[in-house]
Structure 1
Amino acid sequence: MAISTTQKLGLDTPFDYIVVGGGTAGLVVAARLSEDSDVRVLVVEAGADRSTDPLVLTPGLVAAVYGKDEYDWNFSSVPQPHLNNRSINQARGKMLGGSSALNFMMLVYPSRGIIDAWAGLGNKGWDFDSLAPYFRKFGTVHTPPQTARDVVGLTYHNDGLSPESKTPESKTSANNGPVQVSFSEGYGPTNKAWMDAFAAQGFAVSADPREGNAIGAFQNPASIDPVTKTRSFAATAYYTPEVAARPNLVVLTETTVNRILFSAPSSAADEPTATGVELTTRPNETLTVSVVPSGGEVILAAGALHSPAVLEHSGIGSPAVLNPLSIPVLVANPSVGENMQDHPIVCQSFEVADGIPSADALRDPTILAALANLHATQAGAGPLGQSVVSVAYTPVVDGSGRLPAAAVQALFAEHASTALPQPSQQAVRALLSSSADVPAPAFQYLLFPSQITISDTPRSMAEYIVPSEPQNFITIMTVLNHPFSRGSVHIASPSPAALPRWDPRYNSNPLDMELLARGVQFVERLVAPGSPLAGVLKREGGRRLPGIVSDVGEGDLEKSREIVRQRQISVFHVSGSCAMLPREQGGVVDERLRVYGVKGVRVVDASVFPLEPAGNIQSVVYAVAERAADVIKEDRRAGGVNGRVVVM
């Protein structure tokens, strides 16, 4: 008798854990849970395994994957009223490794204050000190090469946290995780000018940003293997051949989860219990896979745009969303798909002086082909194996520099009637208006090595970063670390194959626009004549994108606001749509990441962030997933049944 695919893969036998989504978080959780040979783990990923694809592995070729169905979900927002009705593109990884396979590989770490605020909102065990070990656990941060130190300094870098160090601290740092983190050897004059420009404004970093209290310009590492000069991401780091060979781990690719299945509660006081999931495999075969009836769990790790959609297709969400689609309401929770946060990023491009390097040179196919060949044949040599983006954190600033705490408080008071009243908003207001010696990083500035082109309806992320103007540029990016605006993502069709509707509602809270406009003003100080950055820009007849010079005075902010309207996009950091909060405060999961109202379902990805952290969120997703795996293991050891700990 022929053996079916279901039998061959063991899908007809219940699993202890079904992980929905083989992305950044999902592969971490699956790898850690399957360390226990007594449990069976299934991962279901909608995309294919592209962990050996040169377009994914070569850092400098990332633009080639955007907008292509085999790599990218390629979301577009609904038109945004506060951004001249433009639609915003959002690349999302559709392959094993998820968005860690198509991001810009930046490893930036959050501030202590915002993570402590997570715990302060009712999430015990999610403060900075509790999460800090997991920032060490996921990666190996290699010591910067001398060439990097010569250009960008890195005097603040704590070498004791690097594996090559022989100091006593290194032996306890647990800095030996799967993701390889390294500094480039390709930093140049623009990176040095960046460091000098912020130092001239009083923002020179004196502490390692990994320690949670950094203000000023610094050189971030990237998730690039320093030996092979290739992308180090969830699929190569956590789903190694050794992990893939585990008999208790099954990974299904090119398979989508339609919905979570539940058993009916035994009484009105009981909760529905997850029994498994309904899948669609290629070529369009529908089947069900079960979890073990006692203690089995479904772990949603499909990302901030898809995890709430799976919940809604399963009947968990707002009746206002589900009823029009004829989806029976299992658990009414209007917070599912709400609380969506994203870092808005305003991109101002400046033409560089002759002889100053710019990645815009890659518009020439001959140059690109030569560099791709160099990388492929010379052990990753050349600029395509490097990341040269630099970063800075600042408090609230404007054209005059840092705003005093009293001025920040006055700005917040002016917009008090428009600020949302949730405790999470109050926590951010308190954080940003603090007069502490090391202020909270309200803004993140990025030095991007090429031009950014923005259209009203971009077809993909590639349209933003592929050069369209003939001149060579660098781009200064202004990021609002803690936006007050809240968006949403909801299903708009009963078909699980249809993308959910994403509405980030950028600047719907006017306070975000006022903060961003002031952040844009500060850029004028950075590029003013005589500043270090001005030395790398073309002064006579040099172009800007957009061609607007922002006023730096306290009065007229309208030009800065118009720059925001024309040049703000997303920076990949959608989060918060299944927030870890008390249910009465808009929560979808509790502090053990269990979904309210049901048994046996957790969420582990950026959608659980109650507040958007400072900086690029790749490091936070890895750390949250690492801690989540430990939480799940703890609950199992404590006698957890279907995601609820039994007190004996």
Structure 2
Amino acid sequence: MASVDLEKPFDYIVVGGGTAGLVIANRLTEDSDVRVLVVEAGADRSADPLVLCPGLVAGLYGKDEYDWNFSSTPQPTLNNRVINQARGKMLGGTSGLNFLMLLYPSKGNIDAWAALGNEGWDFDSLAPYFRKFATVHTPPQSSKDTCGLTYHNEDLAKGDGPIQVTFSEGYNVTNQAWLKTFAEQGLEVTTDPRDGRALGAFVNQTSIDPVTHTRSFAATGYYTPEVAKRPNLVVLTETLVSKIIFNTTTGEDEPVATGVEILTKTGEKRQISANLEVILSAGTLQSPQILELSGIGNKDILSKHNIPVLVSNPNVGEHVQDHPIVCQSFEVADTTPSGDVLRDPNVLNALVGMYQSTNGGGPLGQSTISVAYSPLVDKTGIVSQQAKDELLSSYEDTLTTPDAKEIKKLVASADEATFQFLLFPTQVAIPDVPKNMAEHLVPVLPENYITVMTILNHPFSRGSVHISSDDVHSPPVWDPKYNSNPLDMELLARGVEFVERIVDSETEFGRLLKTGGKRLPEGLVAKGNEGLEVAREIVRRRQISVFHVSGSCAMRPRGEGGVVDKRLKVYGVRGLRVVDASVFPLEPVGNIQSVVYAVAERAADLIKEDRKGRL
């Protein structure tokens, strides 16, 4: 049947059945007259217990059947360490192996997208799509009892979308102490983080189905058995797209995308036609790879790999942004809960048994990470406006691009979150050359720890991702260029200094840590006159990625670094769009899962509008 289906041209071909790609496929095939093909390199893991169980996520990393498992080039500002980047290789993409955190961007953050030349991509325009993708469930009483949740606004929780969103149960004294300690620093959340104006500590929502206690992700939400039965939707798994096919002889002034070349799991090469559009949703590291393999990109890079230049655009694969995250682990007191107890096979097996026998009961069906958004902070607390302006002014000569000017406004604002802090329930190891993400998460030290993570929401640094050969099987070269703008290091170091205020023995949170206990990195305490330099060294030793790579096919005017226009159409060709995190002109605040869903939902509406315009 598949062979017959593939002979007939599709209206749309979606390259990548990940977080964004399945949204597009679902929404377009709501119209029975529209025929859609999805081509996904991974398999369908939507019923896989390892994917579905929230607490077993570490078991996915580094395994070829789940994870593309990319690695960066050595990073000079991080002691030449290599940084791992887990990417989902399955239907549902990275929504199938992320940490299930649902956070939302700020109003100023998304309004900056519009300010960079993307009319219609402001916060108010995108807001309906954050409701469209999700069904938000009322918090359980146990969560309210433990963490308050007084800021949770039920009026913002409308929506009946495919992704199930809830607060977990299982919060404990560490979450309570986190909230109280940040409140004592003047960082208590007073508004719902979804309204675009939140600062302070809170417990975030998660993409977990509260009935089954399983991961709710693109494959289970947007590709349900009912959707899979649609006769106008065909999904090919374990199939690679090697390039996009173009017609250059139509008489049009630009090449027209007419289909794709695929490689089946048996090694067969064939071409499939698209009547209307090809939609590229392969992700930030692989969408530019496929563009370059198809002849769209920097002519010097294409020529180096003997690829004929179809469209010369040096912006393809550039402007890559990624949230840097600095992980400091602290040994806990004997009575303080720590996820490190899972190193004991007997404990893990008991919890797996509990999960299986009680319809998802126990810790493995939960996510109890807590969050805090903060403006610029340092060892003194919230940095004064004068000190902030002086710091930014001292790096003025590095802030000349449109991106940098918008980010500067966000960092300068007292109402925007420069940092996101995370409370993570286990120790985190930082090998110099990690084989995969699991090496960060599997406990290697005998003591029990919890980790405080410092994330820079708006990095000024920009990296790149480009092909390493003309073979689609060769992974692209990803160079995030962390802290290549030195201001990023200065900001991160100040965030690390602030962590000392949170873990101080006089705070509620600090009292949960072991007196005189160990910390990672060992022996480095960012206090006193040398605190800032020590903090820089902590960044060099303990910064990794937090999986939020974006921006490699940026939406903005072509002359200002753009690869796609405000309707997500690729410049220089017709019939080709990009819909995934690679189009983000500026990285959003916090975890980006919600923004990927919202952008994909809006993109589906744009594609539908354009189809109606053709009829």
TM-score grouping bracket, smaller chain normalisation = over 0.9
1:282 paired with 2:261, answer no
1:513 maps to a residue whose letter is M
Residue aligning to 2:563: 588
* Identical-residue share of aligned pairs (%): 65
Residue aligning to 1:272: 255
Q: Is the 8 A contact 1:548 1:563 kept in 2?
A: no
Residue aligning to 2:327: 347
Q: Is the 8 A contact 1:219 1:391 kept in 2?
A: yes
**Cα 1:394/1:553, change in 2 over 3 Å:** farther
Residue aligning to 2:228: 244
Q: Which residue of 79, 101, 116 maps to 2:74?
A: 79
SS in structure 1 at match of 2:328: strand
TM alignment of 1:194-213, pairs within 5 A: 194-213=178-197
Residue aligning to 1:260: 244
Q: Is the 8 A contact 1:583 1:589 kept in 2?
A: yes
2:572 maps to a residue whose letter is G
Q: Is the 8 A contact 2:61 2:69 kept in 1?
A: yes
CA distance in 1, matches of 2:67, 2:507: 40
Residue aligning to 2:349: 369
* Stretches of structure 2 lacking an aligned partner (at least 5 in a row): none
**Cα 1:599/1:554, change in 2 over 3 Å:** farther
Q: How far off its partner does 1:485 sit?
A: 0.3
CA distance in 2, matches of 1:179, 1:552: 43
Residue aligning to 1:23: 18
**Cα 1:431/1:265, change in 2 over 3 Å:** farther
TM alignment of 1:404-553, pairs within 5 A: 404-419=384-399, 421-435=400-414, 439-539=415-515, 541-553=516-528
Residue aligning to 2:281: 301
CA distance in 2, matches of 1:415, 1:207: 33
Over aligned residues, Cα RMSD in angstroms? 1.1
CA distance in 2, matches of 1:252, 1:548: 52
Residue aligning to 2:371: 391
2:483 maps to a residue whose letter is N
CA distance in 2, matches of 1:473, 1:553: 24
Residue aligning to 1:645: none
1:530 maps to a residue whose letter is E
1:476 maps to a residue whose letter is V
Q: How far off its partner does 1:265 sit?
A: 4.5
1:526 maps to a residue whose letter is I
Residue aligning to 1:400: 380
Residue aligning to 1:169: none
1:57 maps to a residue whose letter is L
1:181 paired with 2:165, answer yes
Residue aligning to 2:596: 621
1:386 maps to a residue whose letter is Q
Residue aligning to 2:303: 323
CA deviation string 1:28-75 (max 9, x = no partner): 010000001111000000000011111000000111110000100000
CA distance in 1, matches of 2:198, 2:494: 21
**Cα 1:405/1:554, change in 2 over 3 Å:** farther
CA deviation string 1:358-392 (max 9, x = no partner): 11000011111111111112100010000000000
CA deviation string 1:223-265 (max 9, x = no partner): 0000000000000000001100000000000000000000015
**Cα 1:244/1:41, change in 2 over 3 Å:** same
CA distance in 2, matches of 1:374, 1:596: 53
SS in structure 1 at match of 2:511: helix
CA distance in 1, matches of 2:485, 2:300: 23
Residue aligning to 2:54: 59
SS in structure 1 at match of 2:10: coil
How many residues align? The count is 615
Residue aligning to 1:49: 44
Residue aligning to 1:158: 153
Q: Is the 8 A contact 1:520 1:550 kept in 2?
A: no
CA distance in 1, matches of 2:554, 2:64: 29
1:284 maps to a residue whose letter is G
SS in structure 2 at match of 1:526: helix
1:297 maps to a residue whose letter is E
SS in structure 2 at match of 1:638: helix
2:271 maps to a residue whose letter is T
CA distance in 1, matches of 2:178, 2:408: 29
Q: Is the 8 A contact 1:400 1:552 kept in 2?
A: no
1:561 paired with 2:545, answer no
CA distance in 2, matches of 1:606, 1:109: 14
1:6 maps to a residue whose letter is S
Q: How far off its partner does 1:417 sit?
A: 2.1
Residue aligning to 1:644: none
Q: How far off its partner does 1:555 sit?
A: 6.3
Q: How far off its partner does 1:406 sit?
A: 2.1
SS in structure 2 at match of 1:151: helix
* Bigger mean CA offset, 226-235 vs 364-373: 364-373
* Stretches of structure 1 lacking an aligned partner (at least 5 in a row): 163-172, 641-648
SS in structure 1 at match of 2:7: coil
CA deviation string 1:564-585 (max 9, x = no partner): 0000000000000000010000
Q: Is the 8 A contact 2:77 2:482 kept in 1?
A: yes
Q: Is the 8 A contact 1:446 1:476 kept in 2?
A: yes
Q: Is the 8 A contact 2:496 2:526 kept in 1?
A: no
CA distance in 2, matches of 1:608, 1:552: 40
Q: Is the 8 A contact 1:111 1:213 kept in 2?
A: yes
Residue aligning to 1:118: 113
Q: How far off its partner does 1:425 sit?
A: 1.1
Q: How far off its partner does 1:553 sit?
A: 5.0
1:43 maps to a residue whose letter is V
Residue aligning to 1:166: none
Q: How far off its partner does 1:460 sit?
A: 0.3
Q: How far off its partner does 1:355 sit?
A: 1.6
SS in structure 1 at match of 2:56: helix
SS in structure 1 at match of 2:164: strand
CA distance in 1, matches of 2:348, 2:387: 48
CA distance in 2, matches of 1:59, 1:586: 38
TM alignment of 1:120-135, pairs within 5 A: 120-135=115-130
Q: Is the 8 A contact 2:554 2:584 kept in 1?
A: yes
**Cα 1:265/1:558, change in 2 over 3 Å:** farther
Q: Is the 8 A contact 2:156 2:194 kept in 1?
A: no
CA deviation string 1:100-143 (max 9, x = no partner): 00000000101110100001111111100010110011011111
Q: How far off its partner does 1:554 sit?
A: 7.0
* Bigger mean CA offset, 616-625 vs 630-639: 630-639
Q: Is the 8 A contact 2:497 2:531 kept in 1?
A: no
Q: How far off its partner does 1:418 sit?
A: 2.7
SS in structure 2 at match of 1:366: helix
1:47 maps to a residue whose letter is G
Q: Is the 8 A contact 2:553 2:583 kept in 1?
A: yes
Residue aligning to 2:608: 633
**Cα 1:155/1:554, change in 2 over 3 Å:** farther
CA distance in 1, matches of 2:530, 2:510: 25
TM alignment of 1:590-605, pairs within 5 A: 590-605=565-580
TM-score normalised per structure 2: 0.99
1:95 maps to a residue whose letter is M
1:61 maps to a residue whose letter is L
CA distance in 2, matches of 1:217, 1:159: 19
SS in structure 2 at match of 1:517: helix
TM-score normalised per structure 1: 0.94
1:310 paired with 2:277, answer no
Q: How far off its partner does 1:548 sit?
A: 3.6
1:222 paired with 2:206, answer yes
